[in-house]
Structure 1
Amino acid sequence: MTALPSSGTTRAWVVERPAPIASGPLRPVEREIAEPGPYELLLGVRACGVCRTDLHLAEGDLPPRRPGCTPGHEIVGEVLTAGAYAGGFTAGERVGAAWLAGTCGRCRWCRAGRENLCPASRYTGWDIHGGFAGHTVVDSRYVYRLPEGLPDEDAAPLLCAGIIGYRALERAELPRGGRLGLYGFGASAHLTAQLAVARGAEVHVVTRSPAARRLALDLGAASAGPDAPPCPLDSAILFAPAGSLVPKALEALDRGGTLAIAGIHLTGVPPLDYGRHLFQERTMRSVAANTREDGRAYLAEAARLRPAVRAVRYSLGRADRALADLAAGSVTGVAVLVPP
């Protein structure tokens, strides 16, 4: 191993007690820099995307798993120290750490290539400290080598917003050249729209934000409005964490269409009417995290596509402000923390 940074401590944000973001659940701390184990990497954080899941964790929509945990799971980092069995990574290498942080590798889900359903799965920023910090330690078996030429702040959102959008698009089973509806147009949707357009889809966006509608049209959407798409959809993805949109998205589907719900948290879903919402073989399915194969496949596609990332930069010291802006819906694109 190379030597640890000489300071011995790192600045980090922790969720002290989950609560509404306006009450300040995030607290800045100085923490000892951990020494990585045999399969681990110590990273100097170069950029970390701010995801809605971080907001759900801070506000308690997702119950805390580790007291005083540091959020952040879209981490671009520089390898500072590599464990003896850390997969050939070397000091100075740029890597990405994402939401999935570990699995058992033995259960029937792992053995079947569905490790995202592993009952023992662990997650960055929920089970282990994440990237709202100057340094963090991650399992080398769950990091990604990143496409060359992408700035750190553009690469960071690919690691969750991009990967989850990729899996949601796969789960939506969009036919070639089909019509895709996107409900909500934040970090993940603005990357997914570009992926779908590049694959030949006709994309229709539903969002209340005028700025997000303008961005959607700039990125190649065929339409963007506040209510319903102008035509029947072959597939749809619900990114907004609003269960009230589920019936509306199902109603917009053509016969045989599929709705994929991409979020980890969703408010209550109103009662569904079988004839209006599900008959004619309409399908509704959830999206649960991702596999490492999803991550590798998406990053390879993104390396070719070179998506336009609308990154809004915040210093690490303003992580609480970034989450507050996300909660208020005032971030068009994706917020990214950039440590000094």
Structure 2
Amino acid sequence: MGAMVLRRIGEPLAWEERPLPQPGPGEVRLRVEACAVCRTDLHVVDGELPGGPLPIVPGHEIVGRIEAAGPGVALIPGSRVGVPWLGHSCGHCPYCAEGRENLCDAPQFTGFTRDGGFATHVVADAGYAFPLESLIDPVAAAPLMCAGLIGWRSLKMAGEGRRIGLYGFGAAAHLLAQVLRWQGREVYAFTRAGDGAAQALARQLGAAWAGGSDQMPPEPLDAAILFAPVGALVPLALRAVRKGGRVVCGGIHMSDIPSFPYSILWEERQILSVANLTRADAAEFLALAPRAGVRAETTTYPLARANEALDDLRHGRFQGAAVLVP
């Protein structure tokens, strides 16, 4: 098998030929069909998420076909599955016992603490390999495995409000906007100042308004979801939401949040963070996405050009999501 490997923080990924991995008990080996490139992958390769082992194969928005299954696995070889960021939970800590496996005390993360999908093959925990037979395009399905799932969990935490602001109109936001419009809610898209292409995509997807992240929306928001990893957006979003509104931080990493006056938090506004996902989130979203007609805007790259895809993501050179195709 071949893989793009992070050997040292700050260095480009390097191509390696490796022996074909064998699945252990409760695991499956996939032949990777597509793996989307997430901002979290940038946090991994840039060293902004400390503690992961090296070398590591990044990538956690994986779609592939099962080639082999270890003992105790009911999934059928040949079937298509998707593998997300949360790649394993212990099943017995207090959080797992409460059904909050996203907060597991002994988790494994795909592409961070276990090898991920920037490769021709990957071994995954069968409990975190979600059937995708209803999604026939692996390239379009790959961004759903993180951008879609984290967007969905963020929306659940944002509540049932009608006017929803999305800060950072990239992979997650452009998928979530489609869900919001299907639900009959209003989308307010906030982008980098002057990013006309992202604003045009937001309007194309039905946004009621699109503007710079330094602007105020024309109406107070019921909730705001931040996908851009920029802590300075938190006070701006607090000013944009109504009394009792929520600001949800959807990323795993964010720059420091600057100090802000208590007056913009007062009146029962809330700041919430999202951590990982649960399998229930995946079941809900993957059933909903086809009904809502969710379709990812994608730019494809050969696996060997993973470094180029990461750099293009870092500099905002495409709309939607980048997807590696082995």
**Structure 2 length normalisation: TM-score?**
0.97
**Aligned ranges 1:167-182 → 2 under 5 Å:** 167-175=153-161, 178-182=162-166
SS of the residue 1:319 aligns to: helix
Q: Following the alignment from structure 1 to structure 2, what is the Cα–Cα distance between the partners of residues 156 and 228?
A: 33
Helix, strand or coil at the partner of 1:61: coil
Which of 93, 102, 113 pairs up with 1:116?
Answer: 102
Runs ≥4 residues deviating over 6 A: none
Question: Given the alignment of the two structures, is residue 260 of structure 1 paired with residue 244 of structure 2, yes or no?
Answer: no
Give the Cα–Cα distance (whole angstroms) in 1 for the partners of residues 136 and 76 of structure 2. Answer: 20
Q: 1:221 aligns with which of 197, 200, 207?
A: 207
Counterpart position of 1:18: 9
Which SS does the other structure have where 1:284 is aligned?
strand
1:3 corresponding residue in structure 2: none
SS at match of 1:34: coil
Q: Distance in 2 between matches of 1:147 and 1:43?
A: 15
- Residue 18 of structure 2 aligns to a residue in which SS? strand
User: Is the contact made by 1:205 and 1:213 (CA closer than 8 Å) also made in structure 2?
Assistant: yes
The answer on whether the counterparts of 1:147 and 1:303 sit within 8 Å (CA) in structure 2 is no
Provide Cα deviations, 1:69-116, integer angstroms capped at 9, x if missing partner: 000001001111111211x21221111111111111111111111110
C-alpha contact 1:147 1:299 (8 A) present in aligned 2: no
What SS is found at the alignment partner of 1:258?
Answer: strand
* 1:325 aligned residue: 312
Deviation at 1:149, TM superposition (A): 4.3
Matches within 5 A, 1:41-52: 41-52=28-39
Segment of structure 1 superposing worse, 145-154 or 65-74: 145-154
Aligned length: 322
Aligned equivalent of 1:95? 81
CA–CA separation in structure 2 for the residues paired with 1:147 and 1:214: 32
Q: Distance in 2 between matches of 1:333 and 1:77?
A: 21
- State the shift of 1:15 in Å: 1.1
CA distance in 1, matches of 2:136, 2:174: 17
Structure 2, gaps ≥5 residues long: none
**RMSD over aligned Cα, in angstroms?**
1.0
Q: Which one of 279, 282, 285 corresponds to residue 295 of structure 1?
A: 282
Aligned partners of 2:80 and 2:133 also within 8 Å: no
Letter in 2 for 1:198: W
CA distance in 1, matches of 2:153, 2:296: 18
1:48-197 aligned within 5 A: 48-86=35-73, 88-175=74-161, 178-197=162-181
In the TM superposition, residue 174 of structure 1 has moved relative to its aligned partner by 3.1
In the alignment, residue 248 of structure 1 is paired with which amino acid? L
* Alpha-carbon distance in 2 for matches of 1:147, 1:251: 43
For 2:231, the aligned partner's letter is G
Percent of paired sites with the same residue: 48
Cα distance, 1:268 vs structure 2: 0.9
CA distance in 1, matches of 2:259, 2:51: 30
State the alpha-carbon separation in 1 of the partners of residues 135 and 313 from structure 2: 28
SS in 2 for 1:197: helix
Shift of 1:150: 3.2
Q: Which moved more, 1:302-311 or 1:240-249?
A: 302-311
The letter for the 1-side match of 2:267 is Q
Distance 1:272 1:113 in 2: 35
Deviation per residue, 1:122-151 (Å, 9 max, x gap): 110011100000001001011100152431
For the pair 1:233 / 2:221, whether they are aligned, the reply is: yes
